[in-house]
Amino acid sequence: MRAVVQRVSKASVVVDGETVGKIGAGLVVLLGAGRDDTEKDVSYLVNKMSGLRIFEDEEGKMNLSVKDVDGEVLCVSQFTLYGDTRKGKRPGFSEAAPSDRAQKLYEQFCRELEEDGVKVATGKFQETMEMELVNHGPVTLLMDSQKNF
């Protein structure tokens, strides 16, 4: 699984003019499932993300996690994280998980994150969404359960 993680002061996602997910301070997670990903990949990313120390402590050092600051997560499915642009100018998506499998992994990720004590808001799977966010820092990280980066 791959994720783009952004520390935000607020974020929201809209589908067909309706706000379907909204958070205050916390993380926006764009999450993509790969064709070979399993439940272990989900658990790895949940564990890593819920403890990721990217919020500032009293001394201004990134030393606190989203759980430490009682932050929220807005998680949005993003299959394009598996877009391969090495050849030509049109991305290929052969490494992305099929949509039914990707949806199960995405839902498991959100569920496990909530079970770990993090409040989670979501977008809508396989819908065109409009996102607004205020990246705080800015802080943006790339994560990959296969540790490719």
Active-site residues, by number, are: 78-80
Q: Where are the alpha helices (DSSP H) in 20-98?
A: 39-50
- Which residue carries 């932050």 as its tokens? 71
| Pairing status of strand 119-122 against strand 18-23 | unpaired
Question: Which residues lie across from 92 on neighbouring strands?
Answer: 84
Which tokens hold the place of 147?
Answer: 């540790």
Q: How far apart are CA 117 and CA 112, in angstroms?
A: 9
